[in-house]
Amino acid sequence: MRRRPVVLRSACGRSIPLPVERWRDEATATERALLAACPGPLLDVGCGPGRVVLAAASGGRAALGIDSSPAAVAEARDRGAPVLQRNVFDPIPAEGRWGSVLLWDGNVGIGGDPVRLLRRARHLLAGGGAVVCEVEPPGSPSEVLDVCVCPGGDEATGPWFPWARLSADDVAAVAAAGGLVVDAVQYRSGRWFAWLRKPTGPVR
C-alpha cells in the first residue's frame, strides 16, 4: 500500500507537505558538509528522528539534539542519537556555551515567532557562535500561520499550533531584531541557509 503524505495544514486552508521519510533517512552530503563548517559544540533544535545530530556525533563532534516530541526523541534514541526531550524555550544544558545552534528544515518556524526564537538561540550560544538557520528562498513571503499536522493528508484534527516561515529576503532584519549578525546566506542543493553570528562583547 502507498503511504499517504503527511502535511501541515494551515487554518487558512493551505497544505504544506512534510518530508517525514527524509527525516528518517540519513543526513545528506550537503548537510554533512554544512556540519563540518559549524563551530562546535552543536545543538540541533527540533532534531526530529535525529539524523543530523547522529551524523555530527558519529563524525566525532560534540553534539546534542533536542525535540519536544516524545515520539521523535524515542526514535532518535533508537538510532543511537544523543538527544533530550526538551522544549527549546525551557532550560537546556550548557546555555551560553554552544558553538552552533541548528534550525534546519523550517525549524526557524518553531513557536511562530522567529525573532523570539533567534533571541533564545542567541542566549544559548557562546560569543562568536552561530545560528545556522534554513530559510525560504528569496522572493517567497515570510509568514506566520496557525497549523496542524495531518498524518494521512486528511482533515485537520488538531492540535493547532503557531508556525512561521522566514524568507531569505527578511532574514537580516529578523536576525538584527534577535541580536545576531548575518555572515552569509548560502544556496546549497536546492536549500537556503543563513549563517547568523552572535557578536562578542556587550550588547548595545
Ligand X SMILES: C[S@@+](CC[C@H](N)C(=O)[O-])C[C@H]1O[C@@H](n2cnc3c(N)ncnc32)[C@H](O)[C@@H]1O
The verdict on 192 binding ligand X (CB under 6 A) reads: no
Does residue 19 have a cis bond before it (omega within 30 degrees)? no
- Please name the residue ranges forming H helices in the chain: 20-24, 29-37, 51-58, 70-78, 114-124, 171-177
Residues 133-152 that bind ligand X (CB under 6 A): none
Strand order in 143-150's β-sheet? 15-17, 7-10, 143-150, 161-165
Among 54, 105, 125, 195, binds ligand X (CB under 6 A): 105
The verdict on 106 binding ligand X (CB under 6 A) reads: yes
Closest alpha carbon to 185 in 139, 142, 132 = 132
The verdict on 194 binding ligand X (CB under 6 A) reads: no
CA dihedral sign of residues 102, 16, 30, 26: positive
Closest alpha carbon to 191 in 140, 124, 147 = 140
Place of cell 532574514: 171
The verdict on 107 binding ligand X (CB under 6 A) reads: yes
107/142 with CB nearer ligand X: 107
Mark 68-87 with x for binding to ligand X (rule: CB under 6 A) and - for no binding. xx--x--------------x
72/145 with CB nearer ligand X: 72
| C-alpha cell, 103 | 534550525
Residues 20-39 that bind ligand X (CB under 6 A): 23
The verdict on 42 binding ligand X (CB under 6 A) reads: no
* Shortest Å distance, C-beta 33 to ligand X: 15
188 sits in which H/E element: strand 181-188
Among the listed ranges 44-52, 120-128, 149-157, 169-177, the one in contact with ligand X (CB under 6 A) is 44-52
The verdict on 88 binding ligand X (CB under 6 A) reads: yes
Residues of this chain that interact with ligand X (CB under 6 A) are 23, 45-48, 51-52, 66-69, 72, 87-88, 104-107, 110-111
